[in-house]
Structure 1
Amino acid sequence: MHGRDRGAWRTTPQRTAVLDALRARDVFVSAQSLHATLVAGGTAVGLSTVYRTLRLLEAAGNVDVVRDGDGERLYRPRADDGHRHYLVCRECGLSLAVDSEDVEEWVARIARDIGFHAVDHTVELTGVCDDCRPGPTERRTGV
């Protein structure tokens, strides 16, 4: 774990399994989906442990978090070089990191103008990827 708050992290086999399973995914994933993957793979871990571990990883700055259309939190390991912004497909969950220099500059300017310091932020960009986008016939007829 490489984040800001190592003190709250106590390594256990279950937490290590959660982190390894999260790192093995290339899309944002819910705690419930991650739990199901772990259990299907033979790891004995409770859903509450998965949630607790993800909250600790979030607090430590080791995961990026977005919300799906229902408001459920989805998690993805944060790259070693820091905070990322993602464009997330509302249909399949595909997530792609996007160039966020403009967003970071905007946040810094707003914080400076208002007089805030140490500002954290979340920017969620969602859409429908090309693979999930309805074809011309489906768009026209609603099928």
Structure 2
Amino acid sequence: MATIEHSEIVNAPPERVFALLRRVEEFADYSDLIERIEPLGEQRYRWYVHAVKMDWTFDVAVVEARSPHTLAWESLSGVKNQGRYYLERVPEGTRVTLTLSYEIGSRLMEKAVNRAATPLVGKVSRQILERVEARLRAGDR
């Protein structure tokens, strides 16, 4: 399984950042690559993503939600993946660290995806956190 980590500082307290990250169905508003997210009930969601010139669909379940520090998920179908947001209070606000692990069945496909995945995950993570921070500045809780 390949693992990618990305970290950013959000200028807001962890409790406020976590409250927005916890609204999984709104992630489509935070990134241009996430086309939509359908809530399936019981902390499960179907993600529709367009990345690396391909469409990806996968179902995930939130497996840990410990406010204000940890939000973790794992895939139920589609691209095998698991991830975790870890939030840590710092003088500037909140350090948000995303750790994402994924596995693609085909070695050839996995090599191609791995080359693009690290900068792509960094871009998406940065975009999500920038938009979360903008919402927080606008007064969203």
The TM-score bracket by the shorter chain reads: under 0.3
More helix by share: 1
TM-score for the superposition, normalised by structure 1: 0.25
- When Rg is computed on C-alpha atoms for both structures, the one with the higher figure is 1
Q: Which has the bigger relative contact order, CA under 8 A and spacing at least 6?
A: 2
TM-score for the superposition, normalised by structure 2: 0.25
